[in-house]
Structure 1
Amino acid sequence: MKTPGGKGTGKGPGGRELTVRVKTARGRTASSTRWLERQLNDPYVARSKREGYRSRAAYKLIEIDDKHHILAPGMKVVDLGAAPGGWSQVAVERVRSSDTDPHVVAIDYLEMDQLPGVILFQKDFLDEDAPAALKAALGGPADVVLSDMAAPTTGHQQTDHLRTTYLCEVAADFALDVLKPGGSFLSKVFRGGAESSLLTTLKQNFATVHHLKPPASRAGSVELFILAKGFKGRRAAQADEPEGHDDGPGEDESWRP
């Protein structure tokens, strides 16, 4: 087939995928051209279209869950920063949520099409009344809190890191308030990992804490994910000293080829 402003795609000699080259068009910046070229050549983008996921981000959660087993049938899940809905789709499948028995509650200030099995709020999670709305929709404690929230990037790495770390911190505070004992918290952070104060809080409240970079996360991306498993519960956390394991700000060793 032909791509806008680019060469045809398909199979080359020996069945190899042909690389799509995108020409710079009037009104398109060089960075936009690079982004478009990367999208057209991304196997996860192609796979998401074939398999019906709304974004390639779905595979990040799939890979993390296949390895760390945080989602199971019947669990209640909160998805923060859900748009366009890839993580919610995976959560629905793995906890077996349905419209008649919804187990997934999602929120994003961006517009997002409804998903079967998801109670959706188009709202800024930072709004004062957002946490209460999510808790009311849950109807009880959560088993898993997911956060793929990230502040719009400025191009300044330190600023972007601090802004996204703040979103991770408020997501963690919410998780501590809604998780049941044994629950899990998974959140996006940027390169450099979580701040020491956040890591301390997570280690005090969870049995294990890891930084992860799943294969679906582009190698050149600054994103990492922090996974905290085995929520101790409020009373236990107050009594314990930090005991959780953290493998540092780099990727989980087991992801490396």
Structure 2
Amino acid sequence: MATRKGLGDKRARHDPAYLRAKREQYAGRAIYKLEEIDKRFRLIKPGTQLLDLGCWPGAWLQYAVQKAGTEATLVGVDLKAVEIALPANVHTIVGDVTKLNLGRFVDRFGRFDLVLSDMAPNTTGNKDFDIPTSEDLFLSALDIASASLRIGGHFCAKVFQGGRFADLLHEVESRFQQGRAYRCENTRKASREQYIIGRGLKATTARAHAPTTDTDPAPADD
């Protein structure tokens, strides 16, 4: 599993968003997608406790901490280490998000106000593989959000649109007070990339997905 390639993606070197991100000293062009989503759905405000799944290279954390402030706790998890400097209230963890011990994770950090996921598979160019893998990553992120959000918390995750897209949106609608699909303006025309946003986690969802603590250790900070 991998996340967006960020400023190291040679194919994006002449992309206007890439050039802007480099000029403004952000870790990746995806920061502007989160900014657009946040302005549309008002997900991040001062004090927002936030979990970022697939956080490398760290651009979303850069944006989020600017909005949430230094009093909030922000946590990012990815298979790759985030190498950029971030404020002390931002914790980055190297690990597989699908193997998180959510009971211990919640005990350590508390429940979150917002769970984000920009996770995507290592794409092969074969949509019959890439799209189902993206859908599975989305479902993993949704389950983590359902178990780690406070009641009333929000969720936003990327998915490649395919045959299960309507089912995924319906699943978000069943777990949250509101569910919406959104395609960012600067998404490449050929891309199947979409975001699904859930606002207001239902109490019934939180109870059904309440995590349990076992003996496995929680991952350490990078």
Match of 1:77 in 2: 50
Shift in Å at residue 150 of structure 1? 1.0
Residue identity over aligned pairs, in percent, reads 34
For 2:169 and 2:159, the matched residues in 1 are separated by: 12
Aligned residue number for residue 109 of structure 1: 79
- How many residues matched? 198
1:11-36 deviation line (CA, Å, top 9, x unaligned): xxxxxxxxxxxxxxxxxxxxxxxx74
Structure 2: gaps (5+ residues): 1-8, 209-222
In 2, Cα distance between the equivalents of 1:193 and 1:211?
15
Q: How far is the alpha carbon of 1:102 from its aligned partner?
A: 4.5
Tell me the amino acid that sits aligned with residue 95 of structure 1: A
Deviation at 1:192, TM superposition (A): 2.4
Tell whether 2:134 aligns with 1:124. no
* Alignment partner, residue 115 of structure 2: 145
Aligned-partner Cα distance in 1 for 2:80–2:95? 8
Q: In 1, distance between residues paired with 2:115 and 2:164? A: 17
Deviations 1:86-106 (A, max 9, x none): 11111111111x3xx441110
- Contact 1:57–1:216 (CA<8 Å) still a contact in 2? no
CA distance in 2, matches of 1:105, 1:59: 20
Query: Within 2, Cα distance between the matches of 1:60 and 1:183?
Result: 20
Change (3 A) 1:133 1:52: farther
Q: Are 2:103 and 1:135 equivalent residues in the alignment?
A: no
TM-score calculated relative to the size of structure 2: 0.81
SS in 1 for 2:98: coil
* 1:146 counterpart letter in structure 2: L
Gaps of 5+ in 1: 1-34, 239-257
Is the contact between residue 194 and residue 226 of structure 1 (CA under 8 Å) also seen in structure 2? no
- Letter of the 1:208 partner, please give it: Q
Letter in 2 for 1:47: R
What SS does the aligned partner of 2:99 have? coil
Check the 8 A contact 2:43/2:114 in 1, yes or no.
yes
Q: Which residue of 2 aligns with 1:174?
A: 144
| C-alpha spacing 1:185/1:193, structure 2 compared with 1 (3 Å) | farther
- How much has 1:191 moved relative to structure 2? 2.1
Please tell me whether Structure 1 or Structure 2 has the larger radius of gyration of its CA atoms. 1
Letter in 2 for 1:68: F
CA shift in 2, pair 1:123/1:182, >3 Å? same
Is the contact between residue 105 and residue 134 of structure 1 (CA under 8 Å) also seen in structure 2? Answer: no
TM-score (norm: length of structure 1): 0.71
Per the alignment, residue 128 of structure 2 pairs with 158
Q: Which amino acid aligns with 1:58?
A: I
Q: Distance in 2 between the 1:194 and 1:147 partners?
A: 18
Deviation of 1:41 after TM superposition, in Å, equals 2.2
Preserved CA contact (<8 Å) 2:77 2:95: yes
For residues 235 and 91 of structure 1, the distance between their equivalents in structure 2, rounded to whole angstroms, comes to 25
CA distance in 1, matches of 2:176, 2:81: 33
Distance 1:119 1:193 in 2: 36
